[in-house]
A and B are shown apart, each in its own frame.
Chain A
Amino acid sequence: MRGTFVNTLCELANADDRIVLLTGDLGFTVLEPFRDAHPRRFYNVGVAEQNMVGLATGLAEAGLIPFCYSIGTFASLRPFEFIRNGPVMHHLPVRIVGLGAGFEYGTSGHTHFSLEDIAVMRSQPGLDIVAPADFEQARSALLETWNGANPIYYRLGKDDRNTMPGLEGRFALGRAQKVRDGDDLLIFTCGPVSLEVAAAAEELARDHIESSVVVVASVSPPPEADIAEALAAHRVALVVESHYVNGGLGSLVSETAAEHGLGTRVVRLGVRTGGRGRSGSAAHMYSRHGIDRAGVVRSARQLLTAARG
């Protein structure tokens, strides 16, 4: 996803000289194509994420479109107040690019897990949040949004090979994408963990449990109408995200259900415990927190059993 994103950004920068790429000393083996193609619009600002966002604010006020690249936690949490008082308060088109979407820096441990980036970013009015499920959607999302007026947080994963079945790269700001239709269960998801959901839906289908799967890559602005419409057609819904359950996509879906007065039961599958020292691959962390294929299947069965009871 990150490779596709950077290559797409290079294409855009070839055609538009307003694009500037800043990195907080990350992106080795990833950002070189941009650096080599546009050396005068590439700045490694060093290990200084607050300054990176402050710089971007000054750049954007002058009409440039700066992208700030780092690992999700460092891109979102460390400079959060700079984001709030900079691009958000000034309504400037700064782009924050956060890598790692949940557990993708798995063995690096808790400091490198992006588990509340959506929550904190979602608190900011006028800040768009784009969390693509796969590299094809990341490309189309960047192509659709890069030139928008709002500041944007892009939440990216690393996978540049696998795709979300049925998604076919579709993206629209303020819309959700249904990638699978089924009457028994509704599942919302976003980000790279979407592929676990797709595998879970396949497994459930083999047992004749048919799921609707909805990808919410445009977390902000929220696809409120699409979420409400999907909820209204189901009695039970799961939300699967590689993120704390508080403040993320599960919260968005729950809030939408409540505000629309819908009776759909919403169960949030995400991270409910803090870091306790143990790390491992993303797959291991997904399994540990019950958001891998098997965990989603297990929760889906429990939810449906409870609903029938």
Chain B
Amino acid sequence: MPRGTTYEHAVRKLILDQSKRAHVGHVGSSMAIADIVTLLYDRLLKGQDPDDTDRDRVVLSKGHAALALYCALALNGHISSSELDTYCADDSLLGVHPEPELKGVDFGTGSLGQGLSIGAGAALAARIQGSRRRVFVVNSDAECNEGAIWEAVMFAAQHKLSNLVSIVDMNAQQAFGYTRDVIDMEPMADKWRAFGWDVHDVDGHDVDVMEDVVRSLDFESGPPHVLLARTDFGGGVSYMRRQIKWHYLPMSDDDYATALSDIQIRQTERKPASGQGANGAVAASPGKRGRKAKT
């Protein structure tokens, strides 16, 4: 990673590069969680060695954003850059959705609504085994259309799985419409709170704020935690913002150039590429601590 490059910028750059090279979609969804992936893989996860059985676990329940995960795994050295370059190639382990066969992927996903149950099981396992490891599940707002999500929500609250954190990517879009027009999940915070969760409504592009929130959580007792991470679809790429088509479309050469320019401006200015997030939340703010990614 070039000197002065933040981890979140490096993730964005790799997502764009790989999406362009592979000529596949889901770029907007992956870009939306660039900062959430940074939060986990650069700031929070303990014991990232896949062979460490006591490592924190991650479930990318919105599996269609696996490219963001692969980029983090590459930045952290779990997969090589040449392996990352096989994204969506024939016979690659790096498909659009994550496979458990790939080292560094704790759980494979792709069918929405299944990951929170798996994460709750992983959290319960830690409790049964007397481990302090934690489980982070990345969900999405539209994924919460799935009824099975709420089965897991109820179980985790009933059993006070305080070592379980769901980070919901609230990008306000889904495959064929805006969430408010398809199934309006708001008021989301009230829903999770009513089910007994510890709820934090946060800017999903402010890694520092999200890190502060997570570090303040009680992982030893009390309810499970959810961060409703308000994000901007496209994660700072100007023309993807609030555009449903970027759920699926690949980028043209011009699209790619504009996207690179957008994230470079974001990196240089260390301030949002656009003012308000899709949900009215403020998009990424400058890193308060000027923190640089680990190298």
Please tell me if A48 contacts chain B, counting CB pairs below 8 Å: yes
Please tell me if A82 contacts chain B, counting CB pairs below 8 Å: yes
Is the beta-carbon distance between B128 and A57 smaller than 8 angstroms? no
Min C-beta distance of A48 to chain B, whole Å: 4
Please tell me if B114 contacts chain A, counting CB pairs below 8 Å: yes
Given the complex, which residues of B lie within 8 Å of A81, measured CB to CB?
A: 111, 114
* Interface positions of B from 225 to 265, Cβ below 8 Å from A: none
Please tell me if A61 contacts chain B, counting CB pairs below 8 Å: yes
Please tell me if A307 contacts chain B, counting CB pairs below 8 Å: no
Complex CA–CA separation, A256 to B258 (angstroms): 60
* Interface positions of A from 128 to 159, Cβ below 8 Å from B: none
Residue of B nearest to A41 (CB): B128
Min C-beta distance of B74 to chain A, whole Å: 23
Checking B109, B120, B122 against A51 with a beta-carbon cut-off of 8 angstroms, the contacting residue is B120
Checking B53, B106, B110, B120 against A54 with a beta-carbon cut-off of 8 angstroms, the contacting residue is B120
The A interface, classified by DSSP as helix, strand, loop or mixed, is helix
Given contacts A85-B108, A90-B100, contact A54 B118 (CB under 8 A): yes
Complex CA–CA separation, A81 to B155 (angstroms): 19
Min C-beta distance of A295 to chain B, whole Å: 40
Min C-beta distance of B65 to chain A, whole Å: 17
Min C-beta distance of A150 to chain B, whole Å: 15
Is the beta-carbon distance between B129 and A62 smaller than 8 angstroms? yes
Given the complex, which residues of A lie within 8 Å of B53, measured CB to CB?
A: 62-63
Please tell me if A64 contacts chain B, counting CB pairs below 8 Å: yes
Min C-beta distance of A58 to chain B, whole Å: 2
Is the beta-carbon distance between B155 and A46 smaller than 8 angstroms? yes
* Interface positions of B from 95 to 152, Cβ below 8 Å from A: 100, 106-111, 114-126, 128-129, 135, 148, 151-152
Complex CA–CA separation, A50 to B129 (angstroms): 23
Please tell me if A40 contacts chain B, counting CB pairs below 8 Å: yes
Min C-beta distance of B230 to chain A, whole Å: 26
Is the beta-carbon distance between A55 and B121 smaller than 8 angstroms? yes
Residue of A nearest to B127 (CB): A40
Is the beta-carbon distance between A58 and B122 smaller than 8 angstroms? yes
Checking B109, B122, B128, B155 against A45 with a beta-carbon cut-off of 8 angstroms, the contacting residue is B155
Please tell me if B189 contacts chain A, counting CB pairs below 8 Å: no
Please tell me if B293 contacts chain A, counting CB pairs below 8 Å: no
Please tell me if A227 contacts chain B, counting CB pairs below 8 Å: no
Is the beta-carbon distance between B126 and A62 smaller than 8 angstroms? yes
Checking B109, B110, B117 against A55 with a beta-carbon cut-off of 8 angstroms, the contacting residue is B117
Complex CA–CA separation, A64 to B115 (angstroms): 18
Please tell me if B22 contacts chain A, counting CB pairs below 8 Å: no
Is the beta-carbon distance between A54 and B124 smaller than 8 angstroms? no
Is the beta-carbon distance between A54 and B121 smaller than 8 angstroms? yes
Given contacts A51-B117, A61-B107, A81-B111, contact A89 B123 (CB under 8 A): no
Please tell me if B154 contacts chain A, counting CB pairs below 8 Å: yes
Q: Mark A114-129, 1 if CB is under 8 A from B, else 0.
A: 0000000000000000
The B interface, classified by DSSP as helix, strand, loop or mixed, is helix
Q: Mark B49-70, 1 if CB is under 8 A from A, else 0.
A: 0000100010000000000000
Q: Mark A75-87, 1 if CB is under 8 A from B, else 0.
A: 0000001100110
Please tell me if A1 contacts chain B, counting CB pairs below 8 Å: no
* Interface positions of B from 180 to 195, Cβ below 8 Å from A: none
Residue of B nearest to A51 (CB): B151
Min C-beta distance of B53 to chain A, whole Å: 7
Given the complex, which residues of B lie within 8 Å of A60, measured CB to CB?
A: 121
Given the complex, which residues of A lie within 8 Å of B118, measured CB to CB?
A: 54-55, 57-58, 61, 86
Min C-beta distance of A14 to chain B, whole Å: 16
* Interface positions of A from 147 to 173, Cβ below 8 Å from B: none
Min C-beta distance of A96 to chain B, whole Å: 14
Complex CA–CA separation, A41 to B125 (angstroms): 10
Q: Mark A18-61, 1 if CB is under 8 A from B, else 0.
A: 00100000000000000000001101011010110111111111
Checking A51, A82, A89 against B155 with a beta-carbon cut-off of 8 angstroms, the contacting residue is A51
Checking A43, A57, A63, A64 against B117 with a beta-carbon cut-off of 8 angstroms, the contacting residue is A57
Checking A40, A41, A55, A89 against B120 with a beta-carbon cut-off of 8 angstroms, the contacting residue is A55
Min C-beta distance of B174 to chain A, whole Å: 19
Given contacts A20-B128, A58-B125, contact A48 B110 (CB under 8 A): no
Q: Could you list some 22 contacts between A and B, CB below 8 A?
A: A41-B128, A43-B124, A48-B151, A51-B117, A51-B148, A51-B155, A54-B114, A54-B116, A54-B118, A54-B120, A55-B152, A55-B155, A57-B117, A57-B118, A58-B107, A58-B124, A59-B125, A61-B122, A62-B129, A85-B111, A90-B100, A90-B108
Binding site for A on B (CB under 8 A): 53, 57, 100, 106-111, 114-126, 128-129, 135, 148, 151-152, 154-155, 158-159
Excluding A41-B128, A46-B154, A54-B114, 6 further A-B contacts by CB distance (< 8 Å) are: A45-B155, A46-B151, A57-B118, A58-B107, A62-B122, A64-B128
